[in-house]
């Protein structure tokens, strides 16, 4: 929304559809296995693709010999970088070739691609490709990469260390001068892991090239049909007009499918082979070749006065972006932007580096840089409360940003509901009782309760929608938005139904297809329901105007006396008997006057420009987002003193969702976010040894299963409707993951006194922290 | 690759002896996933699914014979596995996750000899013997003599594991299995299998076997000897634990460092013993 314009009053939906927990229409086909995903699709003559990964984390490519692979019967195409246009792609820094060119920068990086009549043949062909490498020294972590004599991973792009992809500095107030006024100062270093998305459906693409026209059709698992179209066009030097992208069902994405995955290389294989090619990664290839959340090391120092006013904070963030920048610069921007937390801290000094290393690239992942800094901030705030002898919720309440206050950088908080979230969390979790008298448990186990406050953003960038009235009065809604499984198709259909007073049966919500859908940027950034929902309500409003114009003629009443009635009816206010149906109006428009009823709406979420009079800003790339949303998450844990293993017993997640369009779907997002955060907190971590991933499998890398999560994750949806989202809805998708880890770590501290500044809090780390905590006591005793 | 489904042990042996690089297919839980990952590529698969003898359980005065093709779920629900034999039932009911327990078999688990898995350790704790059929007839041997190394058994070429014998053990003895894993559906980081008998407050029999602490299940007579005759007090447990740690060569992987596993050994031993003691007193 424009920050100057007065906020419009939040519109009220017509009928009962908005706010109902209607089941997702695709639920049954998914449960029964009928849903069609990309890997289920088959085209005549289709070949199977596979990629060869680099055996070295850093090496020069000296020579290729693909002759043996090409000679294998059944092989139709073998590609290396020599067969591709010399184009590098990347959303911020153009540093990524489709296949390694000149050198490889991480173990597993695709170096060659094969298309063959079946997958076993394709995989055998990969083994027959000979590549000679000259192994180079590798920079395997941020420290190694920042040494003055570190191996240089990419050609330097200017000043500074060549392995620094992004450097950001944000300073407000005079932090150096106020430390002396602080009564308590906490200072620590926090570490977070490279978590992986582990979407159920590995990345997959089916590409076909029309032999006559050269037109390319892509079916793929993605978060964005339009960015796939644009990136493929860029990578293969083909105009976008020659590319069509369609998106079948998507089995989860979580940010891992925001940028291109294997679409461009699959198209290149289809072109080279002259036949359709489907390339579906194995789980292990997906884990070795795609991307992860940024591992981070965060130095943070926070000071407060005796009465609990946080005065100053200094933050130094190092994000490990791996071998390619990908979305790393934006992640660094969000991380910097959120490192003050949802608090009013007048004096802040933030510096952030995104650093290249010879590891898997890190990119977008639910929370986008924010879970890392919230982890540091929310643990530090708890320690500050301890030092001040204050209740952790009380300290957070004293510093919570309120409506009208400014975020770091000066953007206004439009709907400051953190206070309401914290107070509700305190109530529903029975905070004081559980904190003061943790429930008893079996011998060798201890229980504790912890909280995290959460601030995040929803909505960004551009969306459009077309709404068209059918002859019978039902409605087609086209948006280009991808439902990645989170349920946006359902919620957005409910938005259209609520805007026009229709039932869901009267709405056809079309699936994304770049040939026919209006543009949508991406299902990411907690934006789809908010931003696409906004353009749907705007288009529906135009349709309503057209309906009323015709209804006025049909009913012989002025437009201002007309009203929408549930079920696709336009009536006259105060005259219950006088009405006409959408079907009748549509017929009138189609055959008597005016022409088809149709409307489009478009919107670019207005980016907040940082206020450089207030904030000293260096190196922050544009972000273009900013409707702030708030939550509070409470976790109760049980810590096993014998092994260090932590079980989460119960959780309370209070989220201000503005308006719950579909409460069950919103609750699902809240619970799913918490579970993903639980994995981040306790078990999930990519581990490398000598530059090679040691756990690229579901066996080695553990996401929590059904038996590892609490039965009771209580989603509590506050509905403080406000802003330009549909009917005042705010985003919820990413928010649930942001505070889970610090809430759990704070609960471990409460249960045992053990201090953990690193996740995942594996049994080993927790046991060592427990022993370290108990060691001085033993000495004294 | 060739594939066969013999209906008798003898037919199976004939197939194994006439094909180089033939592998037995039991539940397939590990073999098929390793084949899919390209780690093994046997020239011939001999499925054991149609051999009735391998799926048969028989009881005798001395104990229970479990067919090699018994799936873990069947072992977990075998009500006759009581007393000392309970250690095997307990392990089978906890290992991996339901899908694996419905698919994987007792014989498959033993012949894989994966040091990460826990059923072999429970079988050693139960003093199990295995019957092996081969070109020279049948022989029986203690399970420790089958498990000779990580992923290595003493099975000769053309041999087939047919069944497993679990002795009833001492009257009054209890079997107990305790596993610790990162999440519920994971290999154990460390597992403790034990058979314990108490005479009042004094331990009259103990046999403790650890999983994931070496290439084969770890059993240390001296550690048992420390426990037997003791009242299982903290220092007795600590001493037994020390001996086990000393003899261990724990795995060092994403499930836990070797050092962590060494820390866990005495701690989990203490918990397993006190849990078993509760059972012994019921």
Please report which confidence band the pLDDT of residue A624 belongs to, taking 50, 70 and 90 as the band edges. low
pLDDT given for residue A775 in this prediction: 84
* Separation between Cα atoms, residue A421 and residue A423, nearest integer Å: 6
For chain A, say whether B234 makes contact (Cβ under 8 Å).
no
Phi, psi of A655 (to 5 degrees): -125, 135
Place of tokens 């450097």: A167
Cβ contact A683–B263 (<8 Å)? no
**At B37, is the secondary structure helix, strand, or coil?**
coil
For chain A, say whether B34 makes contact (Cβ under 8 Å).
no
What share of chain A has pLDDT > 70, as a percent?
98
Class of domain B50-167: alpha beta
pLDDT one-digit tens code per residue, A629-683: 999 999 999 999 999 999 999 999 999 999 999 999 999 999 999 999 999 999 9
Cβ contact A123–B182 (<8 Å)? no
Residues of A in Cβ contact (< 8 Å) with B38: 123
pLDDT one-digit tens code per residue, A148-188: 999 999 999 888 999 999 999 999 999 999 999 999 999 99
Arithmetic mean of pLDDT, B160-187: 96
- The closest CB to that of B184, out of A642, A643, A707, belongs to A707
pLDDT given for residue A7 in this prediction: 60
Angle at A749 between CA A743 and CA A750, to 5 degrees: 85
Arithmetic mean of pLDDT, B71-82: 97
pLDDT given for residue B282 in this prediction: 60
Asked if B113 contacts B152 with a C-beta cutoff of 8 angstroms, the reply is: yes
The Cβ of residue B6 has, within 10 Å, a number of other Cβ atoms equal to: 19
Most A CBs within 10 Å, among B96, B184, B185, B262, to test the A interface = B185
pLDDT one-digit tens code per residue, A565-604: 999 999 999 999 999 999 999 999 999 999 999 999 999 9
For chain A, say whether B184 makes contact (Cβ under 8 Å).
yes
* Separation between Cα atoms, residue A762 and residue A12, nearest integer Å: 48
Of A525, A624, A611, which Cα lies nearest the Cα of A170? Answer: A611
**How far is Cα of residue A368 from the mean position of the Cα atoms in its chain?**
6
Cβ contact B256–A763 (<8 Å)? yes
Please determine, for residue A114, whether its predicted confidence score (pLDDT) is greater than 70: yes
What is the enclosing helix (H) or strand (E) of A177? helix A175-178
Cβ contact A767–B263 (<8 Å)? yes
The sheet that has B160-167: what strands, in order across it? B57-59, B63-67, B160-167, B129-134, B137-142
Asked if A748 contacts A761 with a C-beta cutoff of 8 angstroms, the reply is: yes
A284 → chain B, closest CA residue = B37
Domains A27-34+462-604 and A38-136+206-289 share a fold: no
* Separation between Cα atoms, residue A440 and residue A682, nearest integer Å: 23
For chain A, say whether B139 makes contact (Cβ under 8 Å).
no
| CATH hierarchy code of domain A295-459+610-780 | 3.30.365.10
Q: What is the mean pLDDT of chain B?
A: 96
pLDDT given for residue A744 in this prediction: 98
Of B165, B164, B174, B163, which Cα lies nearest the Cα of B82? Answer: B174
- The residues on A that touch B, with CB distances below 8 Å, are 123, 284, 444, 642-643, 645, 683, 687, 694-695, 699-702, 704-705, 707-708, 762-764, 767
Burial of A613 (0-12, 13-18, 19+ CB in 10 A): exposed
Please determine, for residue B163, whether its predicted confidence score (pLDDT) is greater than 80: yes
Query: To 10 degrees, what angle do helices B234-247 and B258-281 make?
Result: 140
Query: To 10 degrees, what angle do helices A263-273 and A225-236 make?
Result: 50
Arithmetic mean of pLDDT, A684-713: 96
For chain A, say whether B278 makes contact (Cβ under 8 Å).
no
The Cβ of residue B58 has, within 10 Å, a number of other Cβ atoms equal to: 11
Please report which confidence band the pLDDT of residue A4 belongs to, taking 50, 70 and 90 as the band edges. very low
pLDDT one-digit tens code per residue, B80-131: 999 999 999 999 999 999 999 999 999 999 999 999 999 999 999 999 999 9
Please determine, for residue A778, whether its predicted confidence score (pLDDT) is greater than 80: no
Asked if B106 contacts B95 with a C-beta cutoff of 8 angstroms, the reply is: no
Arithmetic mean of pLDDT, A719-730: 96
| CATH hierarchy code of domain B176-281 | 3.30.390.50
pLDDT one-digit tens code per residue, A90-109: 999 999 999 999 999 999 99
Of A300, A384, A293, which Cα lies nearest the Cα of A336? Answer: A300
What is the enclosing helix (H) or strand (E) of A677? helix A663-682
pLDDT given for residue A408 in this prediction: 93
| Residues paired with residue B211 on neighbouring β-strands, in sequence order | B191
B266 → chain A, closest CA residue = A642
Of B29, B73, B68, which Cα lies nearest the Cα of B48? Answer: B68
Please determine, for residue A780, whether its predicted confidence score (pLDDT) is greater than 50: no
pLDDT one-digit tens code per residue, A292-338: 999 999 999 999 999 999 999 999 999 999 999 999 999 999 999 99
Of B226 and B19, the one with more pLDDT: B226
B183 → chain A, closest CA residue = A708
pLDDT given for residue B135 in this prediction: 93
**At A153, is the secondary structure helix, strand, or coil?**
coil
pLDDT given for residue A214 in this prediction: 95
What would you report as the CA-atom Rg of chain B, rounded to the nearest whole angstrom?
19
pLDDT given for residue A158 in this prediction: 85
pLDDT given for residue A2 in this prediction: 42
pLDDT given for residue B37 in this prediction: 83
Please determine, for residue A781, whether its predicted confidence score (pLDDT) is greater than 60: no
Cβ contact A683–B184 (<8 Å)? no
Instruction: List CB contacts of B127: < 8 A, sequence separation 6 or more.
Output: B84, B142, B167, B169, B195, B207
CA count, 13 A, side-chain hemisphere, B76:
19
For chain A, say whether B180 makes contact (Cβ under 8 Å).
yes
pLDDT given for residue A9 in this prediction: 80
The sheet that has B22-25: what strands, in order across it? B2-4, B44-47, B22-25
B180 → chain A, closest CA residue = A643
Please determine, for residue A626, whether its predicted confidence score (pLDDT) is greater than 90: no
Query: To 10 degrees, what angle do helices A392-399 and A418-428 make?
Result: 160
Instruction: List CB contacts of B78: < 8 A, sequence separation 6 or more.
Output: B57, B64, B66, B70, B89
* Separation between Cα atoms, residue B167 and residue B61, nearest integer Å: 9
Cβ contact B180–A764 (<8 Å)? no
Please determine, for residue A3, whether its predicted confidence score (pLDDT) is greater than 50: no
CA count, 13 A, side-chain hemisphere, A147:
10
pLDDT given for residue A172 in this prediction: 96
Task: Give whole-number Cα distances, A400 to A343, A551, A608, in Å.
Answer: 5, 50, 21
Asked if B47 contacts B5 with a C-beta cutoff of 8 angstroms, the reply is: yes
Asked if A125 contacts A75 with a C-beta cutoff of 8 angstroms, the reply is: yes
pLDDT given for residue A10 in this prediction: 86
What is the biggest distance separating any 2 CA atoms in chain A, rounded to whole angstroms?
Answer: 95
Domain boundaries, chain A: 27-34+462-604, 38-136+206-289, 295-459+610-780
Arithmetic mean of pLDDT, A352-373: 98
Cβ contact A702–B184 (<8 Å)? no
Q: Which CATH number fits domain A27-34+462-604: 3.40.50.300, 3.40.30.10, 3.30.365.10, 3.20.20.20?
A: 3.30.365.10
pLDDT one-digit tens code per residue, A490-538: 999 999 999 999 999 999 999 999 999 999 999 999 999 999 999 999 9
Instruction: List CB contacts of B90: < 8 A, sequence separation 6 or more.
Output: B122, B175, B176, B177
Please report which confidence band the pLDDT of residue A777 belongs to, taking 50, 70 and 90 as the band edges. low
Structure tokens belonging to residue A99: 């296949």
Quick one: CA torsion of B212, B217, B223, B227, rounded to 10 degrees?
Answer: 90
The Cβ of residue B59 has, within 10 Å, a number of other Cβ atoms equal to: 10
Cβ contact B186–A701 (<8 Å)? no
Residues of A in Cβ contact (< 8 Å) with B267: 642-643
| DSSP-derived secondary structure for A94-133 | --B-SS--SEE-STT-EEEEEEESSHHHHHHHHHT-EEEE
Cβ contact A767–B260 (<8 Å)? yes
**At B30, is the secondary structure helix, strand, or coil?**
coil
* Separation between Cα atoms, residue A161 and residue A146, nearest integer Å: 7
Cβ contact B183–A683 (<8 Å)? yes
Cβ–Cβ pairs < 8 A, chains A and B: 51
Of A8, A20, A23, A2, which Cα lies nearest the Cα of A541? Answer: A8
pLDDT given for residue A439 in this prediction: 79
Cβ contact B183–A702 (<8 Å)? yes
Structure tokens belonging to residue A219: 């079916």
Asked if B85 contacts B175 with a C-beta cutoff of 8 angstroms, the reply is: yes
pLDDT one-digit tens code per residue, B249-261: 999 999 999 999 9
DSSP state of B214: S
Please report which confidence band the pLDDT of residue A623 belongs to, taking 50, 70 and 90 as the band edges. low
| Residues paired with residue A452 on neighbouring β-strands, in sequence order | A633
**At A457, is the secondary structure helix, strand, or coil?**
strand
Cβ contact A643–B180 (<8 Å)? yes
Strands A277-280 and A47-53: parallel
Domain boundaries, chain B: 50-167, 176-281
What is the enclosing helix (H) or strand (E) of A663? helix A663-682
Asked if A277 contacts A206 with a C-beta cutoff of 8 angstroms, the reply is: yes
pLDDT one-digit tens code per residue, A391-443: 999 999 999 999 999 999 999 999 999 999 999 999 999 999 999 988 778 88
Arithmetic mean of pLDDT, A730-740: 97
Class of domain A38-136+206-289: alpha beta
Asked if A353 contacts A334 with a C-beta cutoff of 8 angstroms, the reply is: no
Cβ contact B254–A687 (<8 Å)? yes
For chain A, say whether B268 makes contact (Cβ under 8 Å).
yes
């Amino acid at each position: 929304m424009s920050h100057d314009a007065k906020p419009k009053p939040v519109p009220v939906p017509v009928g009962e559809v908005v706010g109902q927990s209607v089941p997702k229409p695709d639920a049954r086909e998914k449960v029964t296995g009928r849903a069609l995903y990309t890997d289920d699709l088959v085209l005549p003559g289709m070949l199977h693709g596979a990629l060869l990964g680099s055996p070295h984390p850093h090496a020069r490519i000296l020579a290729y010999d693909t002759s043996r692979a090409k000679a294998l019967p059944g092989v139709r195409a073998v590609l290396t970088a020599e067969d591709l246009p010399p184009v590098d792609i990347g959303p911020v820094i153009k540093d990524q070739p489709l296949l390694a060119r000149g050198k490889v920068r991480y173990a597993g990086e695709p170096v060659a691609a094969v298309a063959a009549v079946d997958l076993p043949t394709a995989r055998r062909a990969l083994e027959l490709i000979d590549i000679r490498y000259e192994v180079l020294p590798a920079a395997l972590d941020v420290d190694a990469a920042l040494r003055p004599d570190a191996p240089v991973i990419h050609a330097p792009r200017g000043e500074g260390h060549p392995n620094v992809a992004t450097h950001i500095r944000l300073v407000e107030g005079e932090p150096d001068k106020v430390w002396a006024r602080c009564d308590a100062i906490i200072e620590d270093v926090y570490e977070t892991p490279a978590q992986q998305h582990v979407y159920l459906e590995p990345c997959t693409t089916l590409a076909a090239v029309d032999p006559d026209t050269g037109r390319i059709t892509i079916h793929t698992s993605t978060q964005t049909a339009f960015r796939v179209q644009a990136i493929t066009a860029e990578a293969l030097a083909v105009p976008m007009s020659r590319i069509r992208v369609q998106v079948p069902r998507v089995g989860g994405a979580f940010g891992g499918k925001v940028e291109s995955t294997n679409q461009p290389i699959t198209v290149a294989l289809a072109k080279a082979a002259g036949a359709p090619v489907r390339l579906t990664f194995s789980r292990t290839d997906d884990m070795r070749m795609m991307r992860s959340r940024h591992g981070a090391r965060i130095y943070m120092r926070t000071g407060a006065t005796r009465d609990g006013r946080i005065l100053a904070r200094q933050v130094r963030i190092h994000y490990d972006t791996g071998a390619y920048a990908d979305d790393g610069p934006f992640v660094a921007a969000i991380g910097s932007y959120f490192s003050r937390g949802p608090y009013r801290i007048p004096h802040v000094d933030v510096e952030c580096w995104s650093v290249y290393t010879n590891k898997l690239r890190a990119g977008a992942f639910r929370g986008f840089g924010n879970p890392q800094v919230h982890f540091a901030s929310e643990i530090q705030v708890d320690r500050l409360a301890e030092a001040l002898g204050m209740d952790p919720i009380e300290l957070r309440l004293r510093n919570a940003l309120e409506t009208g206050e400014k975020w770091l950088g000066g953007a206004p908080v439009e709907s400051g509901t953190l206070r309401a979230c914290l107070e509700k969390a305190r109530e529903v979790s029975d905070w004081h009782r559980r904190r003061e008298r943790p429930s008893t448990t079996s011998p060798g186990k201890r229980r504790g309760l912890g909280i995290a406050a959460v601030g995040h953003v929803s909505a960004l960038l551009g969306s459009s929608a077309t709404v068209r009235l059918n002859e019978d009065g039902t409605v087609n809604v086209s948006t280009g938005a991808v439902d990645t499984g989170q349920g946006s198709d359902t919620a957005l259909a409910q938005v259209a139904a609520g805007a026009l007073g229709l039932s869901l049966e009267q709405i056809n919500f079309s699936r994304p297809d770049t040939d026919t859908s209006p543009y949508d940027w991406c299902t990411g950034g907690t934006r789809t329901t908010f931003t696409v929902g906004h353009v749907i309500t705007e288009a529906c409003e135009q349709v309503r105007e057209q309906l009323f114009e015709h209804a006025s003629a049909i009913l012989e009443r002025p437009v201002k006396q007309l009203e929408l009635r549930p079920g696709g009816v336009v009536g006259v206010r105060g005259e219950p008997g006088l009405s006409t149906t959408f079907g009748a109006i549509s017929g009138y428009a189609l055959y008597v006057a005016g022409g088809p009823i149709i409307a489009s709406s478009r919107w670019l979420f207005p980016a907040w420009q940082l206020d450089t009079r207030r904030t000293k800003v260096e190196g922050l790339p544009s972000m273009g987002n900013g409707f702030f949303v708030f939550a509070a998450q409470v976790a109760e844990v049980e810590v096993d003193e014998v092994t260090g293993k932590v079980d989460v017993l119960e959780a309370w997640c209070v989220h201000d969702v503005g308006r719950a369009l579909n409460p069950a779907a919103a609750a699902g997002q809240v619970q799913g976010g918490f579970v993903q955060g639980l994995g981040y907190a306790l078990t999930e971590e990519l581990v490398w040894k000598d530059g090679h991933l040691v756990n690229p499998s579901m066996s080695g890398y553990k996401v929590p299963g059904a038996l590892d999560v609490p039965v009771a994750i209580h989603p509590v949806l506050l509905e403080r409707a406000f802003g330009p989202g549909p009917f005042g809805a705010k985003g919820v998708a990413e928010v649930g993951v942001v505070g889970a880890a610090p809430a759990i770590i704070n609960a471990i501290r409460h249960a045992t006194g053990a201090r953990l500044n690193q996740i995942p809090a594996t049994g080993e780390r927790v046991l060592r922290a427990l022993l370290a905590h108990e060691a001085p006591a033993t000495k004294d005793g | 690759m060739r594939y066969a489904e013999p209906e008798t042990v003898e037919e199976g042996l004939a197939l194994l002896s006439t094909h180089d690089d033939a592998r037995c297919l039991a539940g397939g839980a590990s073999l098929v996933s390793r084949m899919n990952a390209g780690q093994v590529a046997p020239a011939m698969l001999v499925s054991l699914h149609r051999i009735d003898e391998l799926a048969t359980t028989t009881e005798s005065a001395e104990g229970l014979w479990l067919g090699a093709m018994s799936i873990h779920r069947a072992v977990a629900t075998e009500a006759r596995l009581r007393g000392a034999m309970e250690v095997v039932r307990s392990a089978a009911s906890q290992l991996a996750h339901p899908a694996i327990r419905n698919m994987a078999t007792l014989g498959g688990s033993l012949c894989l000899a994966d040091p990460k898995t826990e059923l072999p350790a429970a079988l050693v704790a139960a003093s199990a013997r295995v019957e092996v059929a081969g070109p020279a007839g049948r022989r029986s041997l203690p399970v420790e003599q089958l498990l000779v190394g990580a992923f290595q058994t003493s099975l000769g070429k053309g041999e087939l594991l047919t069944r497993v014998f679990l002795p009833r053990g001492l009257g009054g003895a209890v079997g107990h299995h305790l596993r610790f894993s990162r999440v519920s559906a994971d290999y154990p980081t460390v597992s403790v299998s034990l058979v314990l008998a108490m005479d009042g407050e004094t331990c009259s029999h103990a046999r403790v076997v650890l999983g994931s602490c070496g290439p084969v299940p770890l059993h240390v007579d001296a550690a048992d000897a420390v426990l037997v005759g003791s009242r299982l007090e903290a220092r007795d447990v600590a001493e037994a634990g020390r001996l086990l740690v000393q003899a261990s060569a724990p795995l060092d992987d994403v499930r836990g460092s070797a050092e962590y596993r060494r820390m866990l050994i005495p701690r989990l031993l203490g918990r397993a013993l006190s849990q078993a003691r509760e059972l012994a007193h019921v």
